[in-house]
Amino acid sequence: MRILITGGAGFIGSHIVEAALQKGWHVRVLDSLDPAIHPVRPRLDPRVEMLTGDVADPAIVLRALEGIDLVCHQSAKVGLGVSFADAPDYVRNNDYATAVLLAAMDSRRIRRLVLASSMVVYGEGAYTDPDSGLPVRPGPRTEQDLRNGIFDPRSPDTGTILEPALITEDARPDPRNVYAASKLSQEHLASVWARASGGWAIALRYHNVYGPRMPRDTPYAGVVSLFRSALARGEAPRVFEDGAQRRSFIHVRDVAAANILAIESLVTEPGPTLGQHFRTYNVGADDVHTVGHVAASLSALNGGPAPVITGQYRLGDVRHITATSDRIKKELGWTPAISFNAGMREFATAPLRAEPGRESTDQLGRIDGQ
């Protein structure tokens, strides 16, 4: 099988490349290798066919799709952004580039797509009312509550503090920032493309992915990487709010395994489960951990200073977002293989992205990533 992995030189993409090579597949990568993202050019595994170019460029995308059976679309601008001034960049790199890719796939009559989506499409996670036991989807938290140290969402009807629950793929999307809106737009584009072309698409909604090759400390990096970067500087990780924010942290190799199973399902079946042209799956860990616990674990594993709970907040942040991944387990047979404790022990000393001016000896599949 011949697959194209966009963003295959990135954090998650590189692990998918490695897993695909282990399957014996022919792997072609299209990646811009933007110096701002890849300050040190990665060395490629000789089995990888590498094309350097922008997914928003129709000419390079058409070239990249020659002879390809399936596309695994990982290329995206990630992170929650710094301000709304980032919006045009997110739309260009995520939505417009995806539209270019899908149009080119239609031209090449390629009918199989696995799309990297994100938990951020949900906004806040699932909650229940402690009095009635009924599910409630809260609106944005108020600045007055946040100033007063009340970080958990309230019921919009009664004002009662809600209890967090696990969210399912059937929950109504409610993106709360530009990145989230762009990821949901990617899903919509893929769904429309699948139906219009007679193709098949699977969107994997990643939860908090961590592991080797994460980007270093940038305004767009994930919270786990920010904690690691602080400890590497000898500083205490700084945790916003009270540190009790709940997340589903999932190791990057488990995410790569989910992609491999999604790819195989599109090749061996007539389409996503139940014959649907478009299917979404949560990809998250079975167990739930707080952001404060992750910071404390990394501090202890690194022998560094204890985290500082700052009480600071950002209005665009969500409080709790944890997943049930029962659908992908039942339909694709995926199960996380790396426990939280084992993954954090590895990540505490794992290499992050190479810094400018430092030589990288890693090969693709063993590189610092997106």
Mean pLDDT along residues 195-201: 95
Q: How far apart are CA 190 and CA 72, in angstroms?
A: 12
Token pair belonging to 230: 């602080």
Nearest one of 86, 46, 79 to 363, comparing CA atoms: 46
Nearest one of 103, 74, 106 to 255, comparing CA atoms: 74
Contact of 233 with 302, CB cutoff 8 Å? no
Helix (H) or strand (E) holding 298: helix 291-302
What pLDDT was estimated at residue 219? 53
Q: How far apart are CA 87 and CA 107, in angstroms?
A: 29
Contact of 369 with 215, CB cutoff 8 Å? yes
What pLDDT was estimated at residue 59? 98
What pLDDT was estimated at residue 273? 58
Contact of 17 with 336, CB cutoff 8 Å? no
What pLDDT was estimated at residue 138? 93
Give the Å distances, CA to CA, from 178 to 30, 151, 183, 206.
25, 22, 9, 17
Token pair belonging to 115: 């799309």
- Report the Cα 293 to chain-centroid distance in Å: 21
pLDDT per residue as tens digits for the range 146-180: 999 999 999 999 999 999 999 999 999 999 889 99
Contact of 352 with 195, CB cutoff 8 Å? no
pLDDT per residue as tens digits for the range 255-295: 999 999 999 999 986 555 556 899 999 999 989 999 999 99
pLDDT per residue as tens digits for the range 112-142: 999 999 999 999 999 999 999 999 999 889 9
47-51, 175-179, 316-320, 360-364: which has the highest mean pLDDT? 47-51
Q: Report how far apart the first and last C-alpha atoms of the chain are (Å, whole number).
A: 25
Q: What's at 303, amino acid-wise?
A: G
CB burial of residue 211 (10 Å; 0-12, 13-18, 19+): buried
Q: How far apart are CA 248 and CA 340, in angstroms?
A: 10
pLDDT per residue as tens digits for the range 62-106: 999 999 999 999 999 887 665 788 899 999 999 999 999 999 999
Token pair belonging to 253: 């190799």
Q: How many helices (H) and strands (E) does the chain have?
A: 11, 17
Contact of 115 with 279, CB cutoff 8 Å? no
Q: How far apart are CA 176 and CA 100, in angstroms?
A: 25
The phi-psi region of residue 234 (left if phi > 0; otherwise alpha if psi is between -120 and 50; otherwise beta) is left
Token pair belonging to 124: 């806040």
Whether the pLDDT of residue 224 is over 80: the answer is yes
What pLDDT was estimated at residue 357? 36
What value does the mean pLDDT of the chain take? 90
Q: What's at 215, amino acid-wise?
A: P
Whether the pLDDT of residue 361 is over 60: the answer is no
What pLDDT was estimated at residue 363? 31
Rg (CA), the chain: 20
β-sheet bridge partners, residue 142: none
What pLDDT was estimated at residue 41? 77
Mean pLDDT along residues 32-39: 77
Token pair belonging to 333: 């047979």
| Cα atoms in the Cβ-side hemisphere of radius 13 Å centred on 267 | 15
Whether the pLDDT of residue 235 is over 90: the answer is yes
Whether the pLDDT of residue 360 is over 60: the answer is no
What pLDDT was estimated at residue 275? 63
Give the Å distances, CA to CA, from 113 to 192, 209, 297.
12, 21, 37
